[in-house]
Homo-oligomer: A and B are copies of this chain.
Amino acid sequence: MRILLAQINPIVGDLKGNTRKILEGIARAQKASVDLIVFPECSITGYPMDDFLLQSSFILATEKHLEQIAAATKGLSLTAIVGLPRQNPFDQEKSLYNSAAVIQSGKILGFQDKMLLPTYDVFDERRYFEPGTEMKLWNIVNQKVAITICEDIWEHSEVLRYTSYHKDPILDLQKMHPDLIVNISASPYSFSKPTLRCSVCMNAAKAVSCPLVLCNQVGGNDSLIFDGYSVYVDGQGRVLAMARGFEEDFLLVDTKETQSEIVKMDEWQDLYRALVLGLRDYFRKSGFKKACLGLSGGIDSALVACIAAEALGKENVLGLALPSRFSSEGSVSDARKLAENLGISFKVISIEEPFKAYLELMTPHFEKKPFDVTEENMQARIRGMILMSISNKHGYIVLSPGNKSELALGYATLYGDMCGGLGVISDLTKGQVYTLARWINRHKEIIPQNTLDKPPSAELKPNQKDSDSLPDYAIVDNVLKGYVEEYLSPTEMANKWNYPLEMVTDLVNRIHRNEYKRRQSPPGLRVSEKAFTVGRRFPIVQRWQIKDK
């Protein structure tokens, strides 16, 4: 069988534009004389649809676009599999199915409904969908084809967290002896997830002794980044072909041929490309072109500038050095060097005058209390104000430079450096920031070496260092990963790394205490298994005493 996997990048809610992409894919497939073309999960609507799914006019319009797609296959010899949310015809708890439509000769043959509905982390499918009840086989050029939707093949590999479905569609398929398993996915990226997804496909194919093709969505939709990497696995579980990551691609598979064409994956390159794609799509899909950001001479803003220059083009990025009386000598010079290396625009605006104006205005109201975090935040907020003025006047989106370690501990100023439309590296720990920065510098110095070498500092008071008020970032990052991603208790972490329990407990309590700041942070690109700005829900006001019983 000749199959075209159409790894497209839809825009959420753009039914017309997404349908155009699907029709173009079908025309391309017809030209290539394929038997089957496969589109990703919910490709007419884009994924995730969120509460658009609760608007009946949205569902009606989606179904009309499906009819339009079906009509376009009239007279063609191929079958098309297209993902979409659809009305549940039965009176059940939820009024929708997450479905794959099977289309032949101008007609919708029927639907396969998603059986396993992820309702954890960033997924809320039970909020909208009723689970499908049975696996069906479809006759495509006299082959028995089974269709699965994303999660449906994951239970079998026992790699899921938070959930353990009582059904396993792969076990059903073992009894049904299909000739081919199709999986349509909208499976978001996280660090090293492409490799995991590949192994899930291999396990499923091996378990059913049958080849499997997976077609994944690609592109950034708000916080989620879909990596693509659609794949073809044979019945022995060997990967024979793979589409490109982080871009649209059409992968032609011929199940009669066996040549293998494997894309080599690199975790750090993937991370970089994920961030570039996430940033680029956030701008492109909302019609913005230009970004500005503050360049402090530090590592975080330097990394964000590199990603922005790659994603938007150097001509669309403006870096601003915004020095204060406390800025180090290197602050402006390192920022300027970075801007030169990247070829982006660069401005220096001192914050001294508004800082003086505020101090003069506010000091009478400070009741002679000493310089403290108030004046530190003031400087960060003046910078935020300047960036937002540039944004408002000239149509830039401000990029927020905070990393995950800082956001975890609240080492960031609300309405100051937390200003912005997008948190580009908000899901990277400080350790990952350094590693990725060095990866960017692997061939030549783009980020100034001095930026990499100097100890991290917010430079908001004389001789300030992050290490004045934070433990070593290696410790912070371990606790962050242990608590937020792995749900370890303080005692478990203290034992695991031989840390003082009190220090671990303090860090964990600090993570909770700063929930109010993160709640007002811009959306951030998700690249870990558990990001702060999406898929993690904790109350602001709470009194869970973090100590083991």
Contacts and interface: CB of A to CB of B under 8 A. Distances in A.
A393 B372 contact: yes
A535 to B, nearest CB: 9
B523 A522 contact: no
Interface in A437-451: none
B393 A415 contact: no
Contact of A377 (B52, B378, B388): B388
Given A222-B539, A385-B381, A166 B92 contact: yes
Nearest to A162: B54
Contacts of A415: 381, 384-385, 388, 415, 419
B164 A92 contact: yes
B347 A365 contact: yes
A421 interface: yes
B222 A540 contact: yes
A465 interface: no
A541 B222 contact: yes
B393 A539 contact: no
Interface string A501-539: 000000000000000100111110000000000001111
B164 A489 contact: no
Interface in A1-56: 11-17, 46, 48, 50-52, 54-56
Contacts of A282: 541
A388 B14 CA distance: 40
Contacts of A549: 57, 60-61, 64
B285 A12 contact: no
A155 to B, nearest CB: 10
A166 B548 contact: no
Nearest to A10: B543
Interface in A412-430: 414-415, 419, 421
A388 B381 contact: yes
Interface string A101-142: 000000000000000000110001011000000000000000
B373 A349 contact: no
A14 B541 CA distance: 10
Contacts of A414: 388
Contact of A353 (B60, B357, B489, B516): B357
A251 to B, nearest CB: 26
A497 interface: no
Given A374-B392, A381-B388, A521-B520, A539 B13 contact: yes
A145 interface: no
A538 B537 CA distance: 16
A358 interface: yes
Contacts of A543: 11-14, 17, 285
Contacts of A357: 353-354, 356-357
Given A57-B549, A347-B365, A537 B124 contact: yes
A17 B119 CA distance: 31
Interface in A170-208: none
For this chain, the copies found in one complex come to 2
A480 to B, nearest CB: 15
A539 B57 contact: no
Given A392-B373, A549-B64, A540 B523 contact: yes
Nearest to A490: B57
Interface string A383-415: 011101110111000000000000000000011
Contacts of A164: 91-93, 95
Contacts of A285: 541-543
A178 to B, nearest CB: 25
A14 B543 CA distance: 5
- Tell me which of A285, A356, A372, A544 has the highest count of chain B C-beta atoms within 10 A of its own C-beta: A544
A519 B522 contact: yes
Nearest to A373: B392
A360 interface: yes
B94 A540 contact: no
Contacts of A522: 516, 519-520
- Tell me which of A385, A516, A549 has the highest count of chain B C-beta atoms within 10 A of its own C-beta: A385
A317 to B, nearest CB: 16
A349 B46 CA distance: 49
Nearest to A419: B415
Contact of A539 (B12, B389, B542, B545): B12
Nearest to A548: B57
Interface in A42-91: 46, 48, 50-52, 54-58, 60-61, 64, 91
Interface string A210-230: 000000000001100000000
Interface string A300-342: 0000000000000000000000000000000000000000000
A487 interface: yes
Closest 4 CB pairs of A and B: A13-B544, A14-B543, A374-B392, A357-B357
Given A11-B541, A13-B539, A349-B361, 15 more contacts: A12-B544, A14-B544, A17-B543, A46-B542, A54-B162, A61-B549, A92-B164, A120-B127, A126-B127, A222-B540, A353-B360, A374-B392, A374-B393, A378-B385, A519-B523
